[in-house]
Amino acid sequence: MSNNRLVWLDALRLTAGVSMVALHATADPNGQPFPAWDVSDRVGPLIIRTIIYTARTELFLMISIFLLLLALGRRPRGYGATMMEQARRLLLPFAFWTVFYAFYSLIKAQEFGYFEDLIAGLQEPSTWLSFLLLGTSKYHMHFIPTLFGLLLLYPVFKLAKAHPWLGLGILVCLVVKREIDGFLWANYMGAPWFDYALRSVKIVTYAGYGLAAGALVGLWTRWGARPENGQWFGLICLSGMFLFAIKIIAMIKTLDTGTWPHGYAAGYWADFLFPALLFSGCMVLAHRTWPAAISRIAKYSFGIYLCHPIFLDLIEIALRDQGFAPLEQVLIKIVVGISATLALVLVLERARPLAWTIGLGPLPFSRRDSHRDTAHPPVHQKRSTV
């Protein structure tokens, strides 16, 4: 294994990709915590969810920004060229999967009784506008437009690279996000522009994750993979235990009510700070020996993220009315879903005309994505070398 390989970062990428499959598998077909079942039946799925929800899509965002700033440090280029590159590498696959899921979702809709509503929605221009700007064609597609919107702000994150203390801006941004979100939900829910306002607030306030990533890039370029300072490692571990204890309380609330505890303020902070803490913890351990196999598998993370709803939908259809308990449903979805998704991603990688859809091949109709340019894959799939 190359000494300059950031295997710890590959481990984070892999964790983020797999955790999203497990996250979506731990809810019922309506995205709820199995409210129709007894409390005892909800325990297993919620324990699994509490553990894997330490890695959210925000972890993917931090990884992407971290890699972009590292890449710009090695190969500086202007704002326009950088964003054009990111637009091609992010938005072309996004357009492909948006159209795919817009129609693929009809299969599940037919089985669960909302086919006519979905068909009617597909005939409305506002639906397609929402698909393209908000990523609402499927529950996981919001990640790409959010990431692209966040990357537009990358010059701000470079300031945190030079001044790592700016990484604390994540706390300010999360305070602002919670306050504005609460105001919008309380006063404007149902307005035609409501979802767009929420997403705009999300992108702007998620700049806190960009600042945190920039600060970590600054620390990484200064210190690299050196033996961890015991005090910092201990602080990260203690913080992790504290936040996880809060997540357990949130889990108990969900068990009691059968609904997600969106109003639990401490749970909000535990959920949204854990990705940054997890990232920091792995970076502190960068000098340790990490299995080389992680890097070989990690390149499929983005494909796993993009493709897993294909199989989760089919599994939910197959399990419908079969009498499986929630924990059985969850385990089947996780094991079969990850296995089938990985198999599909491996097929797509070898199907050269389609490999670009999961970030593993040259983009269509573009000379710039010739074979020699594949040394610079998309930010979310960029090889972790320095």
pLDDT, one tens digit per residue, over 19-77 is 888 888 999 888 899 999 999 999 999 999 999 888 888 999 999 999 999 999 999 99
- Is there a domain that residue 190 lies in? yes
- Residue 75, domain member (yes or no): yes
Domain count, the chain: 1
Residue 121 belongs to some domain of the structure: yes
Tokens 């199989």 label which residue? 311
The full length of the chain comes to: 386
Q: Residue 376 has what DSSP assignment?
A: S
What pLDDT, on the 0 to 100 scale, is given for residue 287?
84
- The answer, yes or no, to whether residue 314 has pLDDT greater than 50, is yes
| Separation of alpha carbons 330 and 138, rounded Å | 19
328 in a structural domain = yes
Q: Is residue 335 part of a domain?
A: yes
pLDDT digits (tens, 9 = 90+) for 237-273: 999 999 999 999 999 999 999 999 988 999 999 999 9
Phi-psi region of 321 (alpha: psi -120 to 50; beta: other; left: phi over 0): left
Q: Which residues is 100 bridged to in the sheet?
A: none
pLDDT of residue 234: 87
Helix, strand, or coil (residue 249): helix
Residue 376 forms part of a structural domain? yes
Contact 363, 354 (CB under 8 A): no
Reported confidence tier of residue 228, pLDDT bands at 50, 70, 90? low
In whole angstroms, give the CA distance from residue 242 to residue 385: 33
> Hey, what's the torsion of the CAs at 123, 127, 131, 137, to 10 degrees?
-70
Average model confidence (pLDDT) across the chain: 90
CA distances, 378 to each of 98, 292, 365 (Å): 18, 21, 16
Rounded to whole angstroms, the Cα distance separating 370 from 46 reads 46
- Give the Cα-Cα-Cα angle 155, 367, 96 (nearest 5 degrees): 75
Position 223 confidence tier, pLDDT thresholds 50, 70, 90 = confident
C-alpha to C-alpha distance for 331 and 16, rounded to whole angstroms: 18
- pLDDT tens track for 82-107: 999 999 999 999 999 999 999 999 99
| Prediction pTM value | 0.90
Does some domain include residue 294? yes
The Cα 49–Cα 103 span in angstroms is: 29
User: What pLDDT score was predicted for residue 301?
Assistant: 93
Q: Flag whether 212 is in a domain.
A: yes
Composition of the chain by helix, strand, coil, percent to 5: 75, 0, 25
> Which residue segment(s) compose the domain that 248 sits in?
7-381
